A = this chain, B = another copy of it.
Amino acid sequence: MSTDLMNRDELLSALDQEMRKVSAQSVLFSQAVAEQLGINSTDLECLDIINFSSPITAGRLADLTGLTTGAITGVIDRLEKVGYVRRERDPNDRRRVIIQPLPEAAQKISPLFDSMAQAMSKLYSSYSDQEIALILDFATRSNSIVLEEIAKLQGKEEAEAGEN
């Protein structure tokens, strides 16, 4: 159904549904990328962070992902084994492990996003600056709502635990 035939309620519930799809599908996309790279989704998420915030320590990666340091040791072991990262000792604090992304990782990952980037770029070109700004504003405001609601849910948990 074309959007100009929809009344407001229909528009809103359609938008709800599409936003839900956005997240479901990007999970699927990540899984497909991970599979192409021969790693699991957790390791890909970590690899993304490592590439984006390099240099990064194992402990910082644990903080950012919410995984335990024990789990992170496993992540780095696996990523190192397939040659995507390298462990390096921090010379200033030799307890620390700095995770260095290797060029091999970026070289294998980039092309997997090329086609997507092109298609999205084409989509963007059909919108004016003002329209992009509107969409960006909507996304930003949605995100801050969701962030707040996550906090409320997690707060509820602690509150109930505290009651006991």
Contacts and interface: CB of A to CB of B under 8 A. Distances in A.
Give the bracket for the number of chain A residues in contact with chain B. Answer: 35 or more
Contact of A136 (B18, B32, B141): B18
Contacts of A157: 35-36
A3 B40 CA distance: 36
A131 B135 CA distance: 9
A146 to B, nearest CB: 5
Contacts of A35: 153, 157
Interface of A: 3-4, 6, 8, 11-12, 14-16, 18-23, 25-29, 32-33, 35-36, 112, 115-116, 119-120, 123-124, 127, 129, 131-143, 145-150, 152-154, 156-157
